[in-house]
Amino acid sequence: MSTITSTRRLNRLDRRKLVTTAAVLVGDVAVLLAFIGVGLLVHSIEPWQYPLHTLRTTTPFFLAWVAIAPLLGVYRRRTLSSYYRTLWLTILAWVLVSIVGAYIRATSYFPGGAPLEFLIVNIGFGLLFVLPWRVAVTLLVRRFLPP
């Protein structure tokens, strides 16, 4: 195999990895928005009526996710192709994101507080949104992106 062929193959793999990571991140953001949206609706707040409030409610958890999830390796191919790693790292990531997000939310910059009850509900119901999505990602990666 020539160096040029090797380089082209590597570039193709790098692009595929970048596209996969970007697609999963977009899905993560969509799931986070859906989770926050349902939470707002449960509290009789229509997210589409109050987009700024929705954005301010979502921001602490979005910031926590983009800081914590990559550090734990949830976007690595090794994780995306393993149900076991996906489950445990997603659970760990969401628990940490909930704690950090609640801490950020408790500041005067964002609406709402962060009592213990909120944190417990956020962890439990958040996992009901995040885990099925991440398991679906693993299924798709295993099926369509062989190693």
Q: How confident is the model at residue 112 (pLDDT cuts 50, 70, 90)?
A: confident
Q: How confident is the model at residue 137 (pLDDT cuts 50, 70, 90)?
A: very high
> In the Cβ-directed half-sphere of 96, how many Cα atoms lie within 13 Å?
17
Instruction: For residue 77, report the phi and psi dihedrals to the nearest 5 degrees.
Output: -60, -40
Domain ranges of the chain: 22-144
Q: How confident is the model at residue 105 (pLDDT cuts 50, 70, 90)?
A: very high
Token pair 């977009």 is found at: 26
For 41, the token pair is 């609706």
Q: CB-based contacts of 72: which residues, under 8 Å, 6+ apart? A: 89, 92, 93, 96
- Compute the average pLDDT of residues 76-86: 96
Q: How confident is the model at residue 10 (pLDDT cuts 50, 70, 90)?
A: low
Give me the chain's average pLDDT, please: 91
Task: Give residue 111's pLDDT.
Answer: 84
